[in-house]
Structures are given as C-alpha cells and as structure tokens.
C-alpha cells in the first residue's frame, strides 16, 4: 500500500498580502475581492486555482482520500472533478496560514457549500481523524456510514467492509462443504477442500494485517474494531475446520493403506490357491496317465490268461508290486538286480 502523502500546510505570502490589501481597501471604497477559480483537479483532495493571475495548489483541509491506485482512488478524484469543474468560482478559508509557499491547505467552498463535506458524504473521502474537522464534515461522514456509501459500504469489492463480508461468505462456503466430507471421499476430494480453506485462511491473514495497517486508520475506530472482531472470528473458524479436514485426511490415508494391505493379502491368497489348484491338477493328470498306461498294458496282454507288465509303473498301478519270480507277469526286465524280486520299493 503506498504511503499517505503528507498534507502541506503553508500559505503563499502573496495571497496573504493580497488579502490584507483588499481588506484595507474595502474599508474606504467599494472594493471587490478578486475571484478565485478552479483551474484543474489534481487528485481526490487537491486542486489548482487561479486568483489575480497567480496560480496556487490547494489541498482540501481535514480530508483524507485514497491514492489513485487505492480502492476508489480514481472515483474520488472524478467526484471532486464533478464538484469543482474547471472555471468554478470558489471561496477559500485557509486553515493553516503559513506563508512562503504556493501550496495552500484550506476549506474550499463552492456556492457556500463545503466541498470536502460533499465528497465525504459520497463515501469517497474520510474525515481526517487526526485533525479538528468542521461539524459539517463529521455529519457528512455519519451519513455516508449510515448509507453504506462508497468506502463505507460493500458496493465496491475493494473496500474494507466488502473484503470482510467476502471473507465471511467464502469461509462459510468452504467450511460448510468441508464439514460435509464423508469417509471414503478420497484424498483428492479432501485436498480440494483443504485448498479452498487454505486460500480463505490466506485472505483472512492478509485482511487482518490490512485492518492493523495505515488504511484502516482512516476509518472511525469503532468500525475498524467491529471488522477486526469479525475477521478474528472467521480466522478462528478456519483454523478449526482446517484441523478437522487434516484429521479426515489422516483417516483417509489409514483407510486407503488398510485397503491396499488387504488387497495385497487377498491377491497373495488367490495366487497361493491357484498354485495349489494347478499342483493338484498336475497330480491328478499324472495319476490318470499312469492308470491309463496300466490299463493299456492289461489290454495288450497275451491271450491264454497270462499277465504281461510293460514296466514297474504298470505293476504298481495293478497293485502287484513287488512282483516275485513265478508270479504272473514277472519278467527279467522288472527285476534288474536279478534277485527274484521285481519292482521293489
């Protein structure tokens, strides 16, 4: 925020001399004071005037206005331009008559209307709380506050009251949505709400700093105290809801991790079951193969009642092991060691 520009409080010596001379002349003749006319409006509280061919810069006394790059700064200057159009005849009442400069701090009247009071009434200027301001200006500011005009209202989103209200609304929306988070919402959804709360918290912190800064000093203290109280309440609510969302996130992480572990265990069990099934299938297939071979041997056995075994698997499949010399089906190829016992276990 740009620093406030210091109010210059000096009065040109030429203007004072001219005023004294005119007063003295008026005592003895029909002297008419020279007209003071507006040459240009420089900003929200500064105008350039001309009198007797001399140009002076006049700052409206007892008035604070936003800088051109601050909230409603351009509107303030435009409003003063509407009140004091070029060529408007004005009356000055210097509030700090110190000579030696062409800069004047004065109350400015147009058609006997105090211009600073009109600007304050529009809500485009503040009564300077550090100075004794005319009762008209104080009353005008009360009217502006009651009407929520300009800087004292929420019509422009950049004003302090508008920012406080916007923070409250954003917080209410974010907090209500976060409070509706249910188990199983997922980390992405929880983080989305967390981001909204973090954005509101950042705004709340910035607004709290603004309310402790120079700009807030232009407002009546009671108004600022109310805004501070509302902002503190919002920030406290944000902190509480944020803590709750963090707990929800931790619960979600635990849930997701539990589901992952359970899924891995289920996958491992499924793999083990499949391996066992395949092993059993292989064993069953092998048993079927051996049985088929034994059956084939028996089918191919010589006629006449003799038994013939192709190998020991066939002997075992037939339940004839061990087979002894003299047993049906015994042959030397089944008794490799020649001890008279074949297909020994």
* Both structure tokens of 41: 């409006």
> What whole-number distance in Å separates Cα of residue 189 and Cα of residue 182?
10
In the chain, pLDDT over 90 holds for what percent of residues? 60
Q: Report how far Cα 69 is from the mean position of its chain's Cα atoms.
A: 24
What is the Cα–Cα distance from 124 to 68, expressed in whole angstroms?
12
pLDDT of residue 16: 30
pLDDT tens for each residue of 67-107: 999 999 999 999 999 999 999 999 999 744 555 456 899 99
Measured CA angle at 342 (ends 337, 345), to 5 deg: 100
Quote the pLDDT of residue 34.
65
User: In terms of Cα–Cα distance, which of 265, 307, 271, 311 is closest to 290?
Assistant: 311
**pLDDT tops 60 at residue 23:** no
pTM, rounded to two decimals: 0.63
Three-state DSSP class for 117? helix
Strand 54-60 with 63-64, pairing? unpaired
pLDDT tens for 241-282 read 999 899 889 988 999 999 999 999 999 999 999 999 999 999
Answer whether 310's CB lies under 8 Å from 293's CB: yes
Residues 6+ apart with CB under 8 A from 123: 144, 147, 148, 149, 150, 151, 152, 153
- CB within 8 Å of 216: residues ≥ 6 apart: 160, 210, 224, 227
Q: Prior bond to 322 cis, omega within 30?
A: yes
- In this prediction, residue 291 carries a pLDDT of 87
pLDDT band, residue 283 (cuts 50/70/90): very high
């Amino acid at each position: 925020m740009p620093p406030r520009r210091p109010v210059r409080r000096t009065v040109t010596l030429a203007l004072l001399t001219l005023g004294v001379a005119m007063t003295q002349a008026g005592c003895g003749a029909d002297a008419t004071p020279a007209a003071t006319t507006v040459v240009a409006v420089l900003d929200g509280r500064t105008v350039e005037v001309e009198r007797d061919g001399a140009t002076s810069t006049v700052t409206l006394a007892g008035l604070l206005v936003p800088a051109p790059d601050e909230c409603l700064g351009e509107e303030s200057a435009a409003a003063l331009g509407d009140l004091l159009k070029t060529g408007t005849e004005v009356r000055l009442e210097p509030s700090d008559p110190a000579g030696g400069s062409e800069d004047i701090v004065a109350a400015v009247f147009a058609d006997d209307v105090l211009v600073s009071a009109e600007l304050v009434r529009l809500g485009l200027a503040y009564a300077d709380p550090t100075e004794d301001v005319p009762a008209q200006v104080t009353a005008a500011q009360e009217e502006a506050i009651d009407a929520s005009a300009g800087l004292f209202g929420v019509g422009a989103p950049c004003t302090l009251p508008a920012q406080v209200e916007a923070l409250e609304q954003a917080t209410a929306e974010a907090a209500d949505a976060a409070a509706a988070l249910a188990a199983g919402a997922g980390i992405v959804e929880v983080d989305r709400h967390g981001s909204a709360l973090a954005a509101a918290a950042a705004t709340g912190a910035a607004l709290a700093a603004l309310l402790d800064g120079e700009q807030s000093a232009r407002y009546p203290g009671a108004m600022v105290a109310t805004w501070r109280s509302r902002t503190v309440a919002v920030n406290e609510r944000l902190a509480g809801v944020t803590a709750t969302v963090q707990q929800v996130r931790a619960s979600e992480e635990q849930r997701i991790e539990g589901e992952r572990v359970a899924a891995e265990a289920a996958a491992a069990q499924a793999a083990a079951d499949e391996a066992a099934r395949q092993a059993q299938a292989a064993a069953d297939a092998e048993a079927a193969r051996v049985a088929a071979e034994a059956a084939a041997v028996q089918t191919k056995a010589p006629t006449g009642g003799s038994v013939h075994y192709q190998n020991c698997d066939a002997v075992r499949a037939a339940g004839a092991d061990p087979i002894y010399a003299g047993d049906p089906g015994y042959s030397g190829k089944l008794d490799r060691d020649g001890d008279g016992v074949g297909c020994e276990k």
